[in-house]
Amino acid sequence: MKGITINPKGFHKDQVKFYIVLIPLALFMALPIVYIINHAFKPLSELYAFPPKFVVENPTIDNFRDLAKVSSESIVSIGRYALNSFLTTFFVVTLNILVGSMAGFALSKLEFKGKKLLFEINTISMMFVPAAVLIPRYLVIDKIRIMDTYFAHTLPLVAMPVGMFLVKQFIDQVPNELMEAAVVDGAGKFVIYRKVILPLIKPAIATTCILSFQQVWGNIETSSMFTSRESMRTLAFYMSTLVNANATVAGQGIAAAASLIMFLPNILLFVILQSQVMNTMAHSGIK
């Protein structure tokens, strides 16, 4: 019908009603992020002000200076903790993407005995919280003798049922005709996975990357349970010990600065990949 614009490329007056609803909602959702950033730059007087102040009035970097001073007195340098976190995060995210995409491809497009059972097991496993499998994980890590290694940080976090579920749901939307055309051209299963499936599931891979990163970046379980050497522990564990060790009035500034440092990589990664995440959420529920 003439005069009706369903999806205009630029601004259109019909979009005003959406902005009226979405802008206040977006501002409300951004409040926790604004608070965390402001909280890290508050002087001690504002950290304990009553009533609490949402926005910092006299910003200072003293909290970060105190954090650096305390870190410099540590037996192990903060750079070592950061290196452990970066290496662990890299390997876990990479393996989660590789294992999740391969398993999702097999469960979605290949036919083999026990396919439905394996998918149901993966779905059921999403109900278990980490605390429920802590003891079995410890026994496995101890039995295969990988305590105090990077494998102890990596292996418990490689399997991510939620990521595999999302990837599988996304691959379900890939037309079988594309695979059939690749088979006619002589492509094998791995070639189809690498050249047909992977380019089409980039949004699902981006979502898996974010979920996996969040799972491992703030994880302190592997450092506290599977390592005894301080040089093998991660930045998240070290920051948590700083917060606990400085759980005094004067130490709250250090805790605020540490919280911001651990939070920033998560929000930056999400900002970079957020458009891909939206595409995954839109496709994963379509049948």
Q: How many angstroms separate the CA atoms of 74 and 53, rounded?
A: 33
**Tell me, what amino acid is at 62?**
D
Q: What is the pLDDT of residue 62?
A: 85
CB contact set of 5 (below 8 Å; sequence gap of 6+): 12, 14
- By mean pLDDT, which of 137-146, 216-225, 255-264, 273-282 is the weakest? 273-282
The whole-model pTM stands at: 0.81
Q: What is the pLDDT of residue 98?
A: 92
Domains of the chain: 68-284 (1.10.3720.10)
DSSP 209-231: HHHHHHHHHT--HHHHHS---GG
pLDDT digits (tens, 9 = 90+) for 194-228: 888 888 888 888 888 888 998 899 888 888 889 88
- Confidence band of 287 (pLDDT split at 50, 70, 90): very low
Q: Report the candidate in 120, 204, 107 with the shortest Cα–Cα distance to residue 163.
A: 204
Q: What is the pLDDT of residue 90?
A: 93
Q: What is the pLDDT of residue 91?
A: 93
